Each structure stands twice: as structure tokens, then as C-alpha cells.
Structure 1
Amino acid sequence: MDILFYRLTSSSLEATVTTFAERTLQRGGRMIVRGTGAARLDQLDAHLWAYRDDSFLPHGRDGTHDAEQPVLLTTKAGRPNAAGTVLLVDGARFEADGIDELDRLALIFDGHDAEATQAAREDWKKVTETGQTAVFWAEEDGRWVEKARSG
């Protein structure tokens, strides 16, 4: 499995998470969005309920029927909803434990934030040390372009 790194420079975290969630659910999968702060996850929660007038993405915050949630927003480790896709956002860090059980792992970081960029570089190194392939994606002209690949 490739570990994906997405550097946000023009898209919002909300838009990127929404795209991942829509595609994951279209494939019949489940997803976890793991962050580091409850307030930010509350913002994502509100966005996913109201991002379009004609629909919403079925999801929930941790502590509310976790195992039943197609998309679970959490600060905790683990995969209580048996998600195959995990997004690490807002400083959530890469851990090698359990990656063999995943279909997709993506680390999404703010490319305008020097600390977030440095943390992503450190995680890139950790990923390559595990023998996994790391793939770096950047935004160019409104689309995602693969910029680097390890291994």
C-alpha cells in the first residue's frame, strides 16, 4: 500500500476530506478522519452535514455508535468502524501499527504551515523506514499532481 501525503496550498481541509469521504463511500468503504483537536473535528463535522443543499455525508464523531459510522471523526487511535481508509489531519502523526489492515492511508497537511510541513517530512522518513512507499501530492492549477515517490 502507498502512504499518501497531500500538501494543501489552495484547497481547504474541508473540501479535501469531503472528496475523500465521497469517493470512499462510493466504493462501499469506510473511513476514519483522525485529528488532534476536538474543536477542529467539530468544524469538519458541521461541514459534512451541510456542505451541499441536496445531500450530506453519513458520519459521526467518536463516542456515538463508532462501529456503525461510515465516516468516523476522532482523535483516538484504532479503527472501531473497521475503516479501510484513514486520513491523518491537523497534526495527527503516522504510526506503522496496523497499516497492513488498511487500503489507504493519507496524511493531509497545510503547506503554508512550516511546522506541519516539517512534521510531514519526518513522517515521510518514518514511512520509508517501514519499507512502505510514500507518495507526495501537491496542488497545481486546481488539481492534484504526484511530485515524489519513495522506493
Structure 2
Amino acid sequence: MQVDFYHLTVTPLDRALPQIAEKILSGGGRLLIVAESGAQRAALDRLLWAYSAESFLPHGEAGGEGDAHQPILIATDTLAANDARYIALVDGLWREEALGFDRAFHFFDGDRIAEARSAWKALADRDGIERRYWKQNDNGRWEQAA
């Protein structure tokens, strides 16, 4: 199980998340996006429809009739009604349930760095977990730092 920590310093979530979502979908995978805030979930819903002039990312908000059919599902919790094997925690809060997926993406900014460090340390000695820490260079490109 792989956990990727993404420290958002230059590129905001609304540019980083769609890139990862596109890669997952292009490989035939499904994604669960988790955010506690209703306002953030609504913003993500709008983002995934309009992030690119050429395309959109098919998705829905959890609680609908067609949850099981959504390639990307936006939810408040880690229940993957769409059978996703990938999870993106986008509100800076780590959730242990993310370890039940094949791969977790934990996005955080400077306001949540303490929580991210705690999660990083807590996962250090856990069997079967590979941690990766990604940071942005001055040009906004992602570099693996750990």
C-alpha cells in the first residue's frame, strides 16, 4: 500500500488533484475524494466539471442514486460506494481508513503541516506501507523528497 504525501506550496489543490485523477481514470481506476467541508466538496464538484476547456472528469457527490457507477466520488468519509481503490484526502486531515485502499494521496498545505508530520511518523514502522513525500520546487514541479 502506497501513501503519497503532497505538500501544496506553489500549485493549489485545484491544479494538482485533476492531474492525479486523470492518471487514475486513464488506467481504468476509480477514485474516492474525501473532504469534510461541504463548501470544499461543492468547489471540487465544480472544479472537476470545468478544470479543462477540452474535457471534464466524470464524477458525482456521494449520497446519490448512482454512486456505484461514478468513476470519481466526492464524499465526507472513506466509504467507497464506487469501489474505488484510490483515495485522495484533500482537506489536510489524515484518516486511518485510507490504509484500506491500494494507494492514498494525502494533500496538505502549511496550515496542516503538523498533522501531516504526525501521520508520516505514525506510518513509519507499519508493515506493507510505502510512504512518499512530494514537494514542489520553485518552478512548481513535483519532486519526491522522501
Q: Please give the TM-score of this superposition, normalised by the length of structure 2.
A: 0.91
Q: 2 CA distance for matches of 1:142 and 1:122?
A: 25
> Stretches of 4+ moved more than 6 A in 1?
none
Q: Structure 2 matches for 1:93-104, cutoff 5 A?
A: 93-95=94-96, 97=97, 99-100=99-100, 102-104=101-103
Cα distance change of structure 1 residues 126 and 94 upon mapping to structure 2, 3 Å threshold: farther
Structure 1 match to 2:81:
80
Are positions 1:118 and 2:114 aligned together?
yes
Within 2, Cα distance between the matches of 1:108 and 1:43? 16
**Cα displacement (A) at 1:38:** 1.1
Contact (CA 8 Å) 1:3, 1:127: kept in 2 or not?
Answer: no
Number of matched pairs? 143
Matched residue type, 1:14? D
Structure 2 stretches lacking a partner, 5+ long: none
- Secondary structure of 2:23's partner? helix
In structure 2, the partner of 1:142 is: 140
After superposition, residues 52-63 of structure 1 pair within 5 angstroms as 52-63=52-63
Inter-partner Cα distance in structure 1 for 2:107 and 2:17: 9
Q: Please tell me the residue identity of whatever aligns with 2:121.
A: K
SS in 2 for 1:92: coil
What does residue range 43-54 of structure 1 map to in structure 2 within 5 Å?
43-54=43-54
Unaligned 5+ residue runs, structure 1? none
